[in-house]
Amino acid sequence: MIFVWNCGFSMDIPNPSFSWYSVVLIVGSIAFFFFPWRRQRQPRLPLPPGPAGWPIVGNLFQLGKRPHESLYALSLQYGPLMTLRLGMQTTVVVSSPAMAKDLLKTHDHIFAGRPLIEAVKSLSHHKSSLVFADCSRYWRHLRRISTAELFAPKRLEALQHLRRDEVFRTIQLIFENKGKIVDIGQMVFCTSLNLLGNMIFSTSVFDPHNPASAGFKDTVCGLMKVAGTPNLADFFPFLRFLDPQGVSREMSRHLKALYDFSDTFIQKRLTATGQIVQRGDSEKDFLDVLLDSRSEDFTLIGVRALITELFTAGTETATTTIEWAMAEFIRNPQKLNRIRQELDEVIGCNRKVEESDLDHLPYLHAAVKEIFRLHPPAPMLLPHRAESSCETGGFVIPKDSQVLVNVWAIARDPAIWRDPSEFMPERFLGGENSKIDYRGQNFELIPFGAGRRICPGLPLGSRMIHLVLASLLHSFEWDLPDGMRCEQMDMSDQFGITLKKAADLKAIPKPRLPHHIY
């Protein structure tokens, strides 16, 4: 995701006459040598180091198809704070916990901006976005509503029964189709989608057997992929009207489908409000709150955009993380046995997992941390923008530079992690690593970001991921189809805003609990 910084300018100088040109030269010389600011001026700091680029295109060719890996390789040569020139844009890449902390905590107020990429301008989405808005009054309003009415601890506790019922419904559905191949990503996606549907609209929105749900998942995945595609129109502003890669056209198509989805529920609620006595505060869902919060600045367009982003981010992150976790456990039978032993000891075999059990499952929590480290949902987070020039580490980051935090690279640093490419939940059970959390304070592990732009949905996402993963592992044995061995699993990833599994994980469930439990 790239924001274009156009620093080009031109100036026409006419043929000067001797008299006025001489005056300007003399006055300029006096000012240069004798004014006080001249003596106090400090030498300008350099940009962070980085690879030499080609004329015009800069370092674009060095990104490759897997930028998170390419930038990690370059950081080993140029350091944890590195400058790239991508077309006409300056980009600074952060690849260490210390530099991430410096930018996202110490200088958080400077790097809290967002670059405005062409994809987000599709259908004018940027004008009403929470995710891509700068830290304006509008952004603070949307974040306050979302935090207080959807993600606050008291609200999450009050809606615990919705998460339990939706997860139980998923487990029952899998049980009823036992022996059949399950697309785990698709199943988890529908669970997350219906959970959000119940929290926002007070109703489940999709049937896992309905082809429309698969289409909706494809739309969300497509949007995430397009939004994360390096776009020539961002590197070179003069190409914007051409949309040479079709990024804006493709994004418009995906956004239109998601807008139509949100509009259906909004219009239905508006119609019902005109016919029925409005519900009391205790009965209101999130859509009621949003509609009641409308103002001259926050219109129905803003309501639609916020709902679209909540469904997009809320479903994709949870789905990606749980699918990776299931894949790693199936691929590592010893780890799978250990977590099942913990589940059996804490929960037993005569009931399903409840959310209240999660605090007593340390290996599960360690495994989720390890998945966030090994397969971060957003490998380079969302890009930040420097709202003013900033000096750090002996270098200067210019105003309007794009800043990328390569959390994938931080997770692969052997100076921080032993055997960084291995799935080892045990690393979080003892020693200093046991104190590391992913809520934005420990910069070795920041899959949701840090500072004021940390993902507001982290509290809900964390609960959902732990509950769904524990339920799937406790309720079923999982075998790979067609006699595939665990060593043959395709564990490659696909780069986008999210780092999803390239090959969908499909497995055959076999019940572990007495049948009456399901």
Condensed to tens digits (0 to 9), the pLDDT of residues 216-268 reads 888 988 898 888 888 999 999 899 999 999 999 999 999 999 999 999 999 99
Contact by Cβ (8 Å): 457, 494: no
Give the per-residue pLDDT at 227: 87
395-425 pLDDT, tens digit per residue, is 999 999 999 999 999 999 999 999 999 999 9
Q: Domain count of the chain?
A: 1
Contacts of 463 (CB under 8 A, 6+ apart): 156, 163, 355, 358
Pairing of strands 384-385, 395-397: unpaired
- Residue 269: predicted pLDDT: 92
DSSP secondary structure letters along 201-238: HSS----TTSHHHHHHHHHHHHHHHHHTS--HHHH-GG
In the chain, the amino acid numbered 90 is T
Left (φ > 0), alpha (ψ -120 to 50) or beta: where does 483 sit?
left
What confidence score (pLDDT) does residue 84 get? 97
Task: Tell me the two tokens of residue 363.
Answer: 């290996």
Q: Is residue 481 classed as helix, strand or coil in its secondary structure?
A: helix
Counting Cα atoms < 13 Å in the Cβ hemisphere of 390 gives 23
455 known ligand binder: yes
Q: Residue 505 belongs to what domain range?
A: 44-517
In a domain, 253, yes or no: yes
Alpha-carbon distance of 295 to 267, in angstroms, equals 17
- Domain assignment of residue 10, yes or no: no
Task: Render pLDDT for 466-518 as a digit per residue (tens, 0 to 9).
Answer: 999 999 999 999 999 998 999 999 999 998 888 999 999 999 999 999 999 99
Tell me how far apart the alpha carbons of residues 43 and 266 are, in angstroms, rounded to a whole number: 57
- Determine the 3-state secondary structure of 192 from DSSP: helix
Mean pLDDT of all residues belonging to the chain: 88
Residue 454 CA to residue 431 CA, distance in Å, equals 27
For 279, which DSSP code? Answer: P
pLDDT at 280: 58
Q: Is pLDDT at 36 greater than 80 in this prediction?
A: no
Going by pLDDT thresholds of 50, 70 and 90, the confidence category of residue 45 is: confident
Whats the size of the chain, residue-wise?
A: 518
Tell me whether residue 359 is in a domain.
Answer: yes
174 within a domain of the structure (yes/no): yes
- Residue-wise pLDDT for 294-338, tens only, equals 999 999 999 999 999 999 988 989 999 999 999 999 999 999 999
Asked, for residue 3, whether it belongs to a domain, the answer is no
Phi and psi of 209, rounded to 5°? -85, -5
Per-residue confidence (pLDDT) for residue 177, from 0 to 100: 85
Burial of 153 (0-12, 13-18, 19+ CB in 10 A): exposed
Given a cut of 80, whether residue 30 has pLDDT beyond it is no
- Residue at 87 is within a domain: yes
- CA dist 177 and 90 (Å) reads 53
Which has the minimum average pLDDT: 121-125, 163-167, 207-211, 395-399?
207-211
Q: What is the pLDDT of residues 325-378, one digit of tens each?
A: 999 999 999 999 999 999 999 999 999 999 999 999 999 999 999 999 999 999
Using CA atoms, how far apart are residues 4 and 356, in angstroms rounded to an integer? 47
Phi, psi angles (nearest 5°) of residue 411: -70, -15
Cα Rg of the chain, angstroms = 26
Q: List residues bridging with 93 in a β-sheet.
A: 82, 404
pLDDT at 282: 59
User: What CATH number has the domain bearing residue 275?
Assistant: 1.10.630.10
pLDDT of residue 12: 33
Q: Is the predicted pLDDT of residue 142 greater than 90, yes or no? A: yes
Q: Are strands 500-501 and 493-494 parallel, antiparallel or unpaired?
A: antiparallel
Structure tokens at 364: 């599960």
pLDDT of res. 281: 58
Q: Could you write out the DSSP letters of every residue in 14-57?
A: ----HHHHHHHHHHHHHHHHHSHHHHHPPPPPPPPP----BTTT
Q: What pTM was estimated for this model as a whole?
A: 0.88
Chain CA centroid to CA 121, Å: 18
Element (H, E) at 493: strand 493-494
What pLDDT, on the 0 to 100 scale, is given for residue 217?
80
Is 110 part of any domain? yes
DSSP state letters, 378-433? STT-S-EE-SS-EEETTEEE-TT-EEEE-HHHHHT-TTTSSSTTS--GGGGTSSGG
Average pLDDT over residues 116-135: 94
Element (H, E) at 91: strand 89-94
Whether residue 30 lies inside any domain: the answer is no
As a whole number, mean pLDDT of residues 80-96 equals 96
Give the whole-angstrom CA distance, residue 173 versus residue 176: 5
β-pairing verdict for 89-94 and 182-183: unpaired
pLDDT value of position 229: 83
Average pLDDT (185-208) is 89
